[in-house]
Homo-oligomer: A and B are copies of this chain.
Amino acid sequence: MKSLLLTLSLLLSLSAKADDLPSWKDGSVKSSIIDFVAKVTNEHSPYFVKPADRIATFDNDGTLWSEVPTVEVEFTKQKLDELLQKDPKLAKQEPYKKIIDSIKNKKKTDLTQEEIMTILAKTHAGMTEYEFRMSVERFFQEASHPKLHVPYPQTAYKPMLELLTYLAKNDFELFICSGGETTFIRAVAMSTYGIPSQNIIGTTFKDKAVERNGKLVLVRTEELDLVNDKSGKPIGINRHIGKHPILSAGNVKNGGDIEHLRYSSQGSLPNLQLLINHDDAKREASYSEPGNLSLKAAKKYGWQVISIKNDWREVYDTASLK
């Protein structure tokens, strides 16, 4: 009788919640998400997880919004231009010379994480946290995606926005866990994803607290505090959350989420990992990873691989793209 009730309540919750993910095509990935949420939220299920432990972490670039181009790279290129306009001599000095060569080199489409952080360090050290935040907000007000011609927040993936809403409705606490700089992500995370600034785990620089005109202000330095990428992600998650996420999502590109998803899968509670594969050149972009390490890890550890081509009915919110 008890198991019949359990089956019935599971079926009911499955059918009731299927509509929460309309942009996802029916299939094993969508089922795995709905099954997982149904079992961890069902008090009669042996897999029940209490709300305080329903921690979900999401990579940002390539997982929640497009990374072609990477938004933070566009921001840092702009800041580098501004810096060079003010002081053209810098273009012949390191580390700028190497970075400029890297941008000009057509074979390289993107800056490395290290190059981004170097530019951020050089262009923003000495600014207060407030000034940096304002500089990021100005960028987001003015900038638009080079192909889609909309502000960057509108390049958020519609199926992922549905997933965030669905999880929040089921009392998950949502976090971003990104290699991007924390303050940069905070500037748009609430309005784009409904994720507040206190739930952003990103790369951080060391701050100094200094006195200015009778006020205490936080001044950014060049010194990296934590690079929240690759094996830095579990370190960032432990520092910020202190628990293993029960749901984590990342994407194929450079192996940046392998340790993130492994850390989630090593928790003692039921857990689910999602890895997005960018295989849709027509609607978004198609790229793979040297050595296919992320896909190999997905196979080894049993993660769900999301094929944009096959699993997503829509990629962007077409209404907002018009």
Question: In the assembled complex, which residues on chain B have CB atoms less than 8 Å from the CB atom of A232?
Answer: 209
Distance, CA A183 to CA B262, complexed state (A): 21
Q: Contacts A190-B52, A209-B259, A262-B216 given; indicate if A198 touches B231 (C-beta within 8 A).
A: no
Q: Is A322 an interface residue (CB 8 A)?
A: no
Partner among B129, B209, B266 whose Cβ is within 8 Å of the Cβ of A216: B266
The residues in A between 166 and 219 inclusive whose CB is less than 8 angstroms from any CB of B are 173, 175, 182-183, 186, 190, 196-200, 204, 207-209, 215-216, 218
Size of A's binding interface in residues, CB under 8 A: 37
Q: Tell me whether A266 and B186 are in contact in the complex, defined as CB-CB below 8 angstroms, given that A197-B243, A242-B198 are known contacts.
A: no
Interface stretch, picked from A73-81, A109-117, A156-164, A233-241, is A233-241
Contact across chains for A266 and B129 when beta carbons are under 8 A apart? no
Besides A175-B198, A207-B238, A216-B263, 16 more A-B contacts (Cβ < 8 Å) are: A52-B196, A129-B238, A173-B198, A182-B242, A186-B242, A197-B241, A197-B242, A197-B243, A200-B242, A207-B235, A207-B239, A209-B235, A209-B259, A216-B259, A225-B226, A240-B240
Chain A: residues with CB nearer than 8 A to chain B? Answer: 52, 55, 129, 173, 175, 182-183, 186, 190, 196-200, 204, 207-209, 215-216, 218, 225-226, 231-232, 234-235, 238-243, 259, 262-263, 266
A-B contact list, 13 entries, CB within 8 Å: A55-B198, A129-B238, A175-B198, A183-B242, A197-B241, A198-B242, A207-B238, A208-B235, A209-B231, A209-B234, A225-B225, A225-B239, A240-B240
